[in-house]
Structure 1
Amino acid sequence: MKENSKVDPKSGHLLISEPFLQDENFVRSVVLLCENNENGAFGLVLNKLSILKLGELIDDLSFLDCDVYVGGPVEQNTLHFIYYGDKILEDSIKVGDQLWWGGNFVQLVSKLRLSEIDLDKIRFFIGYSGWSEGQLENEIEEKTWIVSDSTDTNYILGSSPEELWRIILKNMGGEYQVLANYPIDPRLN
């Protein structure tokens, strides 16, 4: 993985919160940037598990015991998803190598009901992370976020939410390996 906070963050980049960020919505967060354009940016926090299950949110999927993550503090009454593999839904947007964001929800429900989707290759989110025009770039300049252009799905979907932040930083190497070991509160070190 390589980091470059001097370039504009693009769809598919990961935003890794700096170790001492105190915003409770983003402490030790890894955000998948799904869209960044002249209107602002949209992303999903990959490592903040909610207390809800998908079957509790969607009546047609009440049989599913699938985790739901908190995508961010904005519009937590909305449901979003990403999946890995071939494009299997109309209107899905490519955000990485075989990584897709959203798509036709009716098709999704049908495929889930027929067990045509591997639940290890899909992740659901309530809410999202959003930035107004230029806001994300300002936060990057202020070093709130470390930007990585790698969306290795082995880490994104295969790591525990508690370890994802640390794993990604360690795999970035160099100074980021040191950051990965910073305690949340250095005064307790």
Structure 2
Amino acid sequence: MSALSLPLANHLLVALPTLAGSSFARSVALICRHDEGGTMGVVINQPSEYTLGEVLSQMDIHTDDAVLRARPVLSGGPVHPERGFVIHDDARPWDSSLEVGGGLYLTTSRDILEAMAHGQGPRNALVALGCAGWDGGQLEQELADNSWLTVPADAALLFELPLESRWQSAAARIGVDLFRLTGYSGNA
């Protein structure tokens, strides 16, 4: 098994400068599922135009928590942009959850948002609209083409760092300074 075919769930994909002209420019995505059939992830550093309060209101979920209402909702990727994805660290049995690994979970059911609105949700959570998806072998080809770095996921990076710091900080975890890289690649 080659290094590129190892499961990448619970890893971060860090966009290299070669993706500067794409919708993934300067993106960091948490890989939630990776197998022969393809890859699914959520971009964790690109804000959407919505706040969590606006999303909750559209779902008829009320909260008095002003801090929660003001939280930015992330633009998780171009696939299913109308669908909500919650990345969190709470192992409770939510209606629709996937264990990503390393104590991280992805939940797509309403119950987690209702719990958050009532102050009973996960201690740490990111809410995104949409996700990113790659067909079987597509991500492996993009990795071979030097479009992405892979970095083990890190809860501190996901839940503590400001959005604008995550791209460079994720790469720095493996010793890469993205500002010193060129926007092109090649093979010798």
Same fold (TM over 0.5): yes
Corresponding letter in the other structure for 1:99: L
Aligned-residue offset at 1:165: 1.0
Q: Match of 2:17, SS?
A: coil
- Among candidates 102, 106, 110, match of residue 101 of structure 1: 106
Alignment RMSD (CA, Å): 2.4
Q: How far apart in 2 are the matches of 1:170 and 1:123?
A: 22
Aligned length: 176
- Aligned 8 A contact 2:80 2:131 in 1: yes
- The CA deviation string for residues 124-174 of structure 1, in whole angstroms up to 9 with x for no partner, is 1111111112111111111111112x211001111111111111111212x
Is 1:180 the counterpart of 2:178 in the alignment? Answer: yes
Q: Match of 1:44, SS?
A: strand
Aligned-residue offset at 1:55: 2.1
Q: How far apart in 2 are the matches of 1:111 and 1:184?
A: 45
Corresponding letter in the other structure for 2:78: P
Q: How far apart in 2 are the matches of 1:48 and 1:101?
A: 17
State TM-score, norm by structure 1. 0.81
- The CA deviation string for residues 66-117 of structure 1, in whole angstroms up to 9 with x for no partner, is 2100001122111111112443524422213221111542x21331232112
- Among candidates 66, 75, 80, match of residue 75 of structure 1: 80
**For residues 53 and 61 of structure 1, do their structure 2 counterparts lie closer, same or farther at Cα, with a shift above 3 Å needed?**
farther
Which one is further off, 161-170 or 22-31? 22-31
Instruction: Give the match for residue 158 of structure 2.
Output: 156
Aligned-residue offset at 1:57: 2.1
Aligned-residue offset at 1:32: 0.5
Aligned-pair identity in percent equals 26
Q: Match of 1:172, SS?
A: coil
- Aligned 8 A contact 1:87 1:98 in 2: no
Is 1:125 the counterpart of 2:135 in the alignment? Answer: no
- The gaps in structure 1 that reach 5 residues or longer are none
Q: Match of 2:49, SS?
A: strand
Q: Match of 2:126, SS?
A: strand
Q: How far apart in 2 are the matches of 1:168 and 1:159?
A: 10
**For residues 133 and 7 of structure 1, do their structure 2 counterparts lie closer, same or farther at Cα, with a shift above 3 Å needed?**
closer
Is 1:24 the counterpart of 2:26 in the alignment? Answer: no
- Aligned 8 A contact 2:61 2:114 in 1: no
Corresponding letter in the other structure for 2:117: R
Matched ranges for 1:165-176 at <5 A: 165-173=167-175, 176=176
Corresponding letter in the other structure for 2:163: P
Aligned-residue offset at 1:5: 5.6
- The gaps in structure 2 that reach 5 residues or longer are 64-68
**For residues 14 and 88 of structure 1, do their structure 2 counterparts lie closer, same or farther at Cα, with a shift above 3 Å needed?**
same
State TM-score, norm by structure 2. 0.82
Which one is further off, 130-139 or 86-95? 86-95
